[in-house]
Amino acid sequence: MRDFAGKVAVITGAGSGFGLEFARIGAAQKMRLVLADVQQDALDAAVAEARSRGAEAIGVRTDVSIAEEVARLAARADEAFGGVHLLFNNAGVAAGGGYVWEGSIKDWKWLLGVNVMGVVHGIRSFVPRMLEHGAESHVVNTASAAGLVSPPLSAPYNASKHAVVALSETLYHDLRLAKARVGVSVLCPAYVPTGISRSDRNRPPELRDDSPQTPSQVAARERSEKAVGAGKLSAADVARTTFDAIREDRFYVITHRNLLPSVELRLRDVLEQRAPSDPYTYRPNLKREV
């Protein structure tokens, strides 16, 4: 997909971070926008901004972990603009760091519900519509560097993002088998200053975990906050790279190129059937660009 003008884009998690930047680029490209977020005030602000930039835009409050709400989002998109051409399954949350055995069931339910089932619901609600209208279309699933490597102290997040990568790869193969005019990209950024470190602000009351944090959970939170704060790429940088990937019909969107040696190390662990290496302690010589 090279020409975005007049095309319809649906963006989940549009109230902040990557989603908001996708919306800004979409508006600049004269796309018609269907913005979704679970946080109503952030969603309203994103819609108002898009309209101030001259875009046709609507907002639909959506909890992507609930299939019926995503189905309603798809129906509203159809009512407002007709067929959708570009879908960003972008909404995501982070929580549940620390040793694997210390994470609560509520942490697992929340992360898997949003990060994995949100993507599943997006695919099930929108891809059949894309196939039906037959126009050139594209799906972008937001995963993470944590979907390509498995750093310690972040099991729920790692598991959810590995699942998104696997879903995206399978979707790519299935669409090729179906001879569909639908492209797929999986976005795998490393640490970027966004609002994901404050995900708890939108956590459902029934899935809140108020138990005291263990030392490993405190260490995981501090490590994450430090890494996110030190991120050199902005959400806007990532959004621009993602739109470039859509134009090029590129599947893997790796925004932080210095991640690749750690990905290669993990694959070599698999090929050589050895124990997993710690991606945090791997420090290759990066004199050449990879």
Q: Read off the pLDDT of residues 94-138 as tens digits, 9 standing for 90 and up.
A: 988 899 999 999 999 999 999 999 999 999 999 999 999 999 999
Tokens coding 257: 């190129």
Backbone φ and ψ for 191, nearest 5 degrees, come out as -70, 125
Q: In the predicted model, is pLDDT for residue 287 greater than 60?
A: no
Q: What is the pLDDT of residue 139?
A: 98
pTM, two decimal places: 0.93
Assess whether pLDDT exceeds 90 at residue 70.
Answer: yes
Report residue 258 as tokens: 């210095």
Mean pLDDT for 192-200 is 75
> What pLDDT score was predicted for residue 141?
98
The CATH topology of domain 8-255 is: Rossmann fold (3.40.50)
- Is 157 among the catalytic positions? yes
57-61 vs 8-12, strand pairing mode: unpaired
Strand partners, 135: none
Neighbour tally for 230: CB within 10 Å: 9
Distant-in-sequence, close-in-space partners of 104: CB < 8 Å, separation ≥ 6: 96, 209, 211
268, 257, 264, 261: which is closest to 283 by C-alpha? 261
| CA dist., res. 265 & res. 271, Å (int) | 10
Q: What is the pLDDT of residue 108?
A: 96
Q: What is the pLDDT of residues 219-265, one digit of tens each?
A: 988 888 777 776 789 999 999 999 999 999 999 999 999 899 999 99
- Rounded Cα gap, residues 51 and 285, in angstroms: 47
Question: Whose structure tokens read 């919306």?
Answer: 23
Q: What is the pLDDT of residue 129?
A: 97
By three-state DSSP, how is residue 171 classified? helix
Within the chain, strands assigned E span 8-12, 32-37, 57-61, 86-89, 137-142, 182-187, 252-253
Lowest mean per-residue pLDDT among 24-28, 133-137, 278-282: 278-282
Maximum C-alpha span of the chain: 55
- The pLDDT assigned to 237 comes to 96
Percent of the chain with pLDDT over 90: 80
Backbone phi and psi for residue 22, each to the nearest 5 degrees, phi listed first: -60, -45
The pLDDT assigned to 289 comes to: 36
Domain ranges of the chain: 8-255, 257-290
How much is the average pLDDT of 41-49?
98
Element of type H or E holding 129: helix 117-133
Could you give phi then psi for residue 61, rounded to 5 degrees?
Answer: -60, 125
Q: Which of 99, 157, 172, 191 is catalytic?
A: 157
Instruction: Output 199 or 81, whichever has higher pLDDT.
Output: 81
Mean pLDDT of 58-84: 97
Q: Is 183 helix (H, G, I), strand (E, B) or coil?
A: strand
Averaged over 28-36, what is the pLDDT? 98
